[in-house]
């Protein structure tokens, strides 16, 4: 994973996600230059996936992700002095695990995101 906002890194990330998780019907991004670049839009549209971009200054279009990144910054990044990029990646990954699995959220009736999400999935029937 890169630490710069170049289109080649966005293409690499989307290709990895598509290989790992399959093709969604739509990909939503903001209007950052890495997402409006031809190589990124071709990587998405060329696979028959619709591409949606938030309107300029339309923070509401992505409010949940923006709120997550605010938490990451104020509860993790701004409190640390990382020794290296690899240290930052490990520490942020640990924070995200804690955020999803251990941190209760008032907006989720004090459940963790994992508890709230997995509770909505249909029960998997065991083979008898």
The per-residue pLDDT for 60 is 66
- Say what percent of the chain tops pLDDT 90: 64
The per-residue pLDDT for 6 is 85
Taking the C-alpha atoms of residue 9 and residue 1, their distance in angstroms, rounded to an integer, is 7
CATH architecture of 1-57: 2-Layer Sandwich (3.30)
pLDDT(83) > 80: yes
| Total-model pTM | 0.60
pLDDT(50) > 90: yes
Task: Tell me the domain boundaries of the chain.
Answer: 1-57, 59-107
The per-residue pLDDT for 67 is 85
List, in order, residues 6 or more apart from 66 with CB less than 8 Å away: 59
pLDDT(126) > 60: no
Alpha carbons within 13 A on the beta-carbon side of 60: 0
């Amino acid at each position: 994973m890169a630490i710069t906002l170049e289109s080649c890194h966005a293409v690499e990330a989307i290709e990895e996600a598509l290989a790992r998780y399959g093709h969604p019907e739509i990909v939503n991004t903001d209007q950052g230059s890495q997402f409006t670049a031809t190589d990124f839009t071709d990587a998405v549209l060329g696979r028959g996936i619709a591409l949606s971009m938030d309107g300029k200054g339309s923070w509401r279009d992505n409010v949940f992700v923006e709120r997550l990144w605010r938490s990451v910054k104020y509860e993790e990044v701004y409190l640390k002095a990382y020794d290296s990029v690899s240290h930052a990646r490990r520490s942020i990954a640990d924070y995200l695990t804690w955020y999803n699995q251990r941190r209760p959220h008032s907006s989720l009736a004090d459940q963790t995101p994992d508890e709230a999400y997995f509770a909505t999935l249909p029960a998997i029937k065991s083979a008898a």
